[in-house]
Amino acid sequence: MSSRKHILIAEDDDFMRSLLSSQFAGLGLTVHSVENGEQAITEALSYQYDIVLTDIQMPLCDGTTVMRILRQLGYDRPIIAMSADEIPTEGFDLILSKPFDAAMLAEVIQRTAPQKSVPLLIDDELTNLFYQNLSQLRQTFEDALKHSEREVMRQVCHKIKGGAASFGETTLAELAGSLQMQLLSDVALDELLNNCNRFLDALSQTGKHDVRT
Amino acid sequence: MLEPKILLVDDVDYSRQLLRNNIIALANEKLLHHNTFIFFNANCASSAQALFDLHQPDIVFLDIDLPDGSGIDVLKKFKISHPQCFIAMVSGESTLVNVKQCIEAGAATFIAKPFTGDKIQAALRLFEKRLKQNVNSLNTH
């Protein structure tokens, strides 16, 4: 994580979301914004953010539920609520009453300390294990594609999506994630053939460059 | 508890190894209260059940997508036989439905893959916090 503070904004109102985003970007923060409570939980659980700033009334899951679920799961980083109404304070680090002015918001965010980040430890032995596994999964995917075994193909995508990003293979992880969704959909396998072949190519290329001996 | 017992359940070898290495690293860096842990490994639901019954672990890192069943079903069984066990569910799909389902079934926390040092640390710190709360509550009764 860089020294710039990362903030997650959860706000369903398009205008408010872009206003807050540009305001924080102007203060030198790295901003990511989401438009509902479900996305807020998913994003916060990535532990990439120093601060979560959430609206209360949002679709799918309101801001108070977002905070409660995160706290229940042990999320101990600052969560700040923005609300026009009186809400219970327990669990939130702070509640900002709407409307609030830009200077007050900037002051609150700037005095929030950045989180200490722990790097993920990956040694050569582990990296070798990963690439060996990737090579086996490539073979499994190729065989499953030949025999139109859609569920096996989906499982391979699922495994790669979950593991590859830890080893810096983010593009491969994203490709696996998107193909996994397509394989779960009603789209016929024939129509997904190009994407499957593209995925196989990406798997082969990754193996070629990165297998350590 | 001198050495908490940790059961790692994932069908991918390097995932279990990654967790183990990083838990040891966190302990070595003195970022946890415990200095050492005892590890057990399972690559499927049935092996997880057998090791769970045999060793009664204090912590389980349990992947949801196992080759011979759902991790959520395994979680439910573990919580019935050993309600105090701290179970961290691990999944690539951190949807609201998934997270809520795990909490309702008794999971202590939820780790969304890919792993990061911060996510692993947060899970273990929660375990240590709960342990302290349990000890305090025992002392006051």
Among candidates A42, A125, A163 on the partner chain, residue whose Cβ is nearest the Cβ of B94: A42
Q: Are residues A140 and A97 in the same domain?
A: no
> Residue A160: CA atoms inside 13 Å, Cβ hemisphere, count?
34
| Predicted confidence (pLDDT) at residue A207 exceeds the cutoff of 70 | no
Last residue of a domain, one of A61, A79, A111: A111
Q: H or E segment at B44?
A: none
Q: Quote the pLDDT of residue A213.
A: 40
Q: Is B110 in the A-facing interface, judged by CB distances under 8 Å?
A: yes
Point out the least confidently predicted range of A61-65, B1-5, B51-55, B79-83: B1-5
Whether the pLDDT of residue A1 is over 50: the answer is no
Dig out the tokens for B107 from the structure.
Answer: 């999971």
pLDDT at A100 over 80: no
Chain B contact for A108 (CB, 8 A cutoff): no
Task: Look at chain B and report how many structural domains it folds into.
Answer: 1
Percent of chain B with pLDDT over 90: 87
Give the minimum alpha-carbon distance from B86 to chain A in angstroms, rounded to a whole number.
12
- Say which range, A115-119, A166-170, A208-212, has the weakest mean pLDDT: A208-212
Flag whether residue A129 sits within 8 Å of chain B, measured between CB atoms.
yes
Q: What value does the mean pLDDT take over residues A89-109?
A: 87
Cβ separation A38–B95 shorter than 8 A = yes
A116-144 burial, b at 16+ Cβ within 10 Å, e below that, comes to ebbebbbeeebbebbbebbeebbebbbeb
* Contact between A46 and B112 using a beta-carbon 8 Å cutoff: yes
How many CB atoms neighbour CB B46 within 10 A?
14
CATH, residue B58: 3.40.50.2300
Res A81 pLDDT > 50: yes
Q: Are residues A26 and A105 in the same domain?
A: yes
Q: What are phi and psi of B104, to 5 degrees?
A: -60, -35
Residue A116 lies in a domain: no
Residue A102 located in a structural domain: yes
Least confident span in A46-55, A81-90, B5-14, B82-91: A81-90
Which residue among A111, A146, A175 closes a domain? A111
Instruction: Report yes or no on A39 lying in a domain.
Output: yes
- Do A105 and A133 belong together in one domain? no
Q: For the segment B58-109, what is each residue's pLDDT rounded down to a tens digit?
A: 999 999 999 899 999 999 999 999 999 999 999 988 889 999 999 999 999 9
Burial-class residue A101 by CB neighbours within 10 Å (0-12, 13-18, 19+).
exposed
Residue A208 has pLDDT above 60, yes or no: no
Mean pLDDT along residues A21-41: 94
Percent of chain A with pLDDT over 90: 74
Say whether both A56 and A97 belong to one domain: yes
Confidence label for B2 from pLDDT (cuts 50, 70 and 90): confident
Residue at token pair 């006051």: B140
Instruction: Give per-residue pLDDT as tens, B28-37.
Output: 999 999 999 9
Q: Are the Cβ atoms of A118 and B26 closer than 8 angstroms?
A: yes
Find the domain containing A171 and state its range.
Answer: 124-210
Q: What is the pLDDT of residue A212?
A: 46
Residue A213, Cβ neighbours under 10 Å: how many?
A: 3
Residue B117 and residue A118: Cβ atoms within 8 Å?
Answer: yes
pLDDT at A149 over 70: yes
Examine residue A57 and state whether it is found in any structural domain, yes or no.
yes
| Average pLDDT over chain A, rounded to an integer | 90
User: Considering A54, A88, A111, which residue would you say is the last residue of a domain?
Assistant: A111
Q: Is residue A117 part of a domain?
A: no
B12, B31, B111 member nearest A159 (Cβ): B12
Number of separate domains in chain A: 2
**A20 and A100 share a domain?**
yes
Q: Do A130 and B116 touch (CB under 8 A)?
A: no
Which stretches does DSSP call E strand in A58-194? Answer: 79-83, 94-97
- Same domain as A167, residue A105: no
Q: Min CA distance, A198 vs chain B (Å)?
A: 22
Both A96 and A168 in one domain: the answer is: no
The answer to whether A162 contacts B118, with C-beta atoms less than 8 Å apart, is no
A104 and A50 in one domain? Answer: yes
pLDDT band at A156 (very low <50, low <70, confident <90, very high): very high
CB contact under 8 A, B92 and A162: yes
The answer to whether residues A57 and A97 belong to one domain is yes
CATH number, domain at A186? Answer: 1.20.120
Provide the residue range defining the domain that includes B85. 5-140
**Domain containing residue A61: CATH number:** 3.40.50.2300
**Which candidate from A74, A120, A133 shows the least CB-CB separation from B13?**
A133
Supply the pLDDT for residue B141: 64
The distance of B61 to chain A (nearest Cα, Å) reads: 14
Chain A interface, best mutation among B101, B104, B113, by max A CB count within 10 A: B113
Considering the domain architecture, whether residues A99 and A155 belong to the same structural domain is answered as: no
Highest-scoring range by mean pLDDT, A2-11, A182-191, B98-107: B98-107
Average pLDDT score over residue span A24-32: 93
